[in-house]
A and B are shown apart, each in its own frame.
Chain A
Amino acid sequence: MDDRVKHAEEFVKDGKLTRRTFIKGVGWITVASALGAAAGCAPQQHEEEQQAEPASSSGIDAAAQAKADATTYSYACCSYNCTSRCLLKGHVRDGRLVAVEPGEMPGRPDYANACLRAMSYIERVQNEDLRVMYPMKRTGERGSGEFERISWEQAMDEIAARMEESKEKYGPESCSFYTFTGNQSKLSMQSPTRFAGCYGATTWDIEGIMGDHGASMGMKMCYGVIRASHDTRDYEQNSNMIVLWGRNLADTHTSELRYIVRARERGAKVVYIDPRFSSTATIADQWIPVKPGSDSALALGMINWIIQNDRHDKDYLSKHSCGSLLVRDDDGTYLRGPDDAYMVWDPAQNTAVPATTEDVDAPIEGAFEAGGVAVKPAFVHLKERAAEYTLERVSELTGLDPQIVETFAREYSEAKPAGIRMGQGMQRTFNTYQSFRTVATLAAVAGYVGVRGGGASHMGGTKANKPVPGETAPEFNFEEWADTGENKANMVKSSLIYQCAVDHDPVRTDFIWFSCSNFLNQSPDAHRIIDEVFPQMSTIVVADPWWTWTAKYADYVLPATSLWEYWDIYDRSPWVFLVKPAIEPLGESKSDCEMMTMLAERVGLGHLWSKTPEEWVRSWPNPESSSFKGFDFDEALKEGMWGMPTGIYDEALIAFGDHAYKTASGRFEFYTEEMVDFDEQVPKHTPPIEASDPDLVARYPLMHITYHDRMNVHSQHCDCPALHAVQTEPLLHLHPTDAQARGIAHGDVVRIFNDRGEAKIRAFVTEGIVPGVTATQAGWTPERFIEGSAQYLSHLKLSPAEERYSQTSSAFNDIMVEVEKA
């Protein structure tokens, strides 16, 4: 039997598996057909039957009609944290969700979207084996997975008693409510933090430990806000070059992809920067494969090239950036004048004047003496710092050919305009605020900030309402929800949560309630959590729809509703998502709001939780606001959505077209006084911490990153069987040179390890990754690894600079490892 027939036999055995193989071998398709005939299904013999009894569409149509008649539609807000926020149209039949498709967004039919994750998620939602069905109490050791079913009454009575005991012993701040991004609908995400407020308990400023804060911190320094987003349609319409910097939007923010694709077909050049040749790279004109953590070096090299070639936008830098603001030589602070005014140099009067003085042609270079104080414009500091980043040095730091850096800098500066969209992938190394900050500064130096088709923008934003002259009514009646009575929450940086448990600094963490969070799977250094952090907590409660890794370490596990089973609302002006249950809650699951109401009633706070979730949701839209003119709750509910009549739908909004930055100086600030102590007052490349340690590199020579891919929003989707068409297990991507050096072949099981831990995983050997770098997909839970977990490899090291400004951002992409064949 020749190979071709063998193929055909495999195919007969398993009609669903080998189509890919089948399609490849053009030549043997006739063989397969012949095999079919030889196997006794001679088509000629059946032609008669076929003609005698022709099937018609009528039976098919009747079946389809019956199905359609039995189907109702219900909408949900896709509220897990990819931030696209799509409206999901659920098909419900016989009390079950059977399908999901994109729901239409009022005013923006182009924006309807539902990704493969959202469409398959209903499998996980309705899988009783995966769901927490009843309140459960631990009976074995933590992590043993031994629990017994208890009643809601017993669960809440006992949890309340334990919480009160912690409060009694160590104060209310020792009780904390850790609510994360697993569900960002208002009631779901905010109920636990609101309860913390009512109780005077601790809540956590979540961005640090999740590794997103470097982005926000860098943006905040420059713009005074954490997003500064351009609508993706702006790139589609106006950009001549689009730089997707660490932003794999084709996988992680699919609602944006269409606009980038259209822009490219219009002629915009799409440049993609990432150590990996990701899905987004496949539609880019150029892939720039940087070493992880070297993004700020690349941007500084470009800034230097632009300045050295006199292509920087001096007018913008003088008028709208801190470039002309005078900085004292002695202590590095901004020179302040009358009423604490920021000062610039007035060459006409040869003196320093307040920056708000009109008709001053303030220089961005030079050195001056103002009232006996030596000063220089802030731009001088940037220029001097950038000068350290020659093409050669940038080449060493990034792994890129100097010619690539130079050409990119030239093309970027000549594109006029070029828009940069940044993603969290370019941060997540130690001291990672530098990356967003430096790239934003690059855009400012090139004169692209506040420009259509330009900017250096964080994730996509469509939030937009027209101001209504004279209107005083708020859009939403949130006063009652915002009122937490006599107490308020004690907000603590999430970067400090481990030390809160272990060292009781700055607060003790004794009782913790996790909601919307698979904390253990999504936080760094899982062994540290299991061995050091959790044992210091007297009570761990997990409220979750699923039996997560974290749930297995809880003392009480409470069944939470998913986004298809509750009342909730999500304000994404100009849209308001209105969510009602599409299906009955599974088992005894309750919404986070209902749980908090039960807890409140047990500790004398019931008066602050007097509404049901539905009542809360109905109470919020304010009929007095122009944004809700003509609003009928029940009518809007049918569509799952209200499009505010005040909304801006047609215009692709950009950030800071008016140059009214929200910084202290009111200007784009690349010079940050608070960072003088660290010599980081202007952007600087601070290298990854583990890759800079020669001893560590000698033992663990590969740099490991985790990336968000098409399979998962964090840990939420690997249990959807429909997605197994895509991938069934986490894979370790590595370059052939690294694989060959270790005797590893594509598909081999390998062991990846460092001092903190290890995982066993299958190797995916690809040319689409920087040599010396390995990568796994984020979110996969331990049961999907052959052994171990990627989070056993990661670490939490506090960055003094980031802690000074706000908080450390976890460095999930700053990990050295070794890999060997298992």
Chain B
Amino acid sequence: MSEKQYGMLVRTGRCVGCQTCVVGCHVLNECPEGVYLGHLETVGHEDNYLVDGTFPNVRVTFRPHLCNHCAKPACVENCPTGAMRKREEDGVVETDPEVCIGCGTCVKACPYGAPALDEERKVAVKCNLCRPRVERGEEPLCVCSCPGEARLFGDVNDPSSDIAKAIAETKAEPLLPEEGTEPSVYYC
């Protein structure tokens, strides 16, 4: 656990469900129509934007999803071609479209359903935590464009990082830890 591992903290109390993250990412990554690299969940509801409780005592929790860049990624483990890999340098899980055959195994293997299939190009597509941006010294688009500043990005394995401190402080938890993939995205 000492290697660098980029990850994210999503502060759901700041999320208003606008989907700027979902839409901005889709555009930036030039995804085909209908393919998104993240999605919004309205916790407890099939349809987004339904609320809990009864009028006037209602509340709602939104949870934006993205690839969890797991320490033990099921997508990598199950990828038949080796297109899906986890980078040692920063823990980012990404796929090489030149190698990927679009079989969809990663989609099925991932406990979070994070990779998507680009059926036109016959390749899996997924969040790479905006690695090219990060390497240029910028934040992932979903982080810098979030109007509620709901997301923090950084090295979750470095206890001195802002994100690691915030995860500890807020007692944030990853989703589905019981799947054993050791996700790097935390929610509070």
Any chain A CB within 8 A of the CB of B87? yes
**Interface mask (B75-86 → A, CB under 8 Å = 1, otherwise 0):** 001111111110
Contacting pair B109 A721 (CB below 8 A): no
Contacting pair A29 B39 (CB below 8 A): no
**Interface mask (B40-59 → A, CB under 8 Å = 1, otherwise 0):** 11000011111101111011
Any chain A CB within 8 A of the CB of B147? yes
Any chain A CB within 8 A of the CB of B96? yes
Any chain B CB within 8 A of the CB of A23? yes
**Interface mask (B97-117 → A, CB under 8 Å = 1, otherwise 0):** 111000111011101110011
The CA-CA distance from A119 to B36 in the complex, in Å, is 14
* Other-chain contact of A116, B24, B49, B96 (Cβ < 8 Å): B24
Q: Which residues of A contact B28 (CB under 8 A)?
A: 91, 99, 101, 119
* Other-chain contact of A768, B55, B103, B108 (Cβ < 8 Å): B55
* Other-chain contact of A254, B20, B33, B74, B94 (Cβ < 8 Å): B20
Q: Which residues of B contact A744 (CB under 8 A)?
A: none
Any chain A CB within 8 A of the CB of B27? yes
Any chain A CB within 8 A of the CB of B159? no
- Interchain nearest-CB distance for A173 vs B (Å): 44
Given A43-B109, A101-B141, A119-B23, A12 and B104 touching (CB < 8 A)?
yes
Contacting pair B147 A746 (CB below 8 A): no
- Interchain nearest-CB distance for A147 vs B (Å): 28
* Other-chain contact of A250, B18, B24, B99, B176 (Cβ < 8 Å): B18
Q: Which residues of B contact A119 (CB under 8 A)?
A: 20, 23-24, 27-28, 145
Q: Which residues of A contact B39 (CB under 8 A)?
A: 19-20, 725
Any chain A CB within 8 A of the CB of B3? no
- Interchain nearest-CB distance for A145 vs B (Å): 25
- Interchain nearest-CB distance for A332 vs B (Å): 40
The CA-CA distance from A22 to B117 in the complex, in Å, is 15
Any chain A CB within 8 A of the CB of B179? yes
Any chain A CB within 8 A of the CB of B144? yes
**Interface mask (B14-28 → A, CB under 8 Å = 1, otherwise 0):** 111111101110111
Any chain B CB within 8 A of the CB of A766? yes
Given A50-B82, A68-B132, A766-B50, A36 and B34 touching (CB < 8 A)?
no
Given A20-B39, A746-B47, A15 and B107 touching (CB < 8 A)?
yes
Contacting pair B81 A50 (CB below 8 A): yes
Interface residues of B (CB under 8 A from A): 13-20, 22-24, 26-28, 30, 33-36, 39-41, 46-51, 53-56, 58-60, 62, 65, 74, 77-85, 87, 89, 94-99, 103-105, 107-109, 111-113, 116-117, 119, 131-132, 141, 144-145, 147-149, 175-176, 178-179
Contacts A/B (CB < 8 Å), 20 sampled: A20-B39, A21-B46, A22-B113, A29-B111, A29-B176, A32-B108, A32-B109, A33-B108, A37-B78, A41-B108, A43-B80, A45-B80, A55-B95, A98-B30, A114-B24, A254-B20, A279-B18, A289-B55, A289-B56, A769-B55
Interface residues of A (CB under 8 A from B): 8, 11-12, 15-17, 19-24, 26, 29, 32-33, 35-37, 39, 41, 43, 45-46, 49-57, 59-60, 63-64, 68, 91, 98-102, 112-116, 119-120, 122-123, 250-251, 254-255, 257-258, 261-262, 277, 279-280, 282-283, 287, 289, 710, 721-726, 735, 746, 764, 766-771
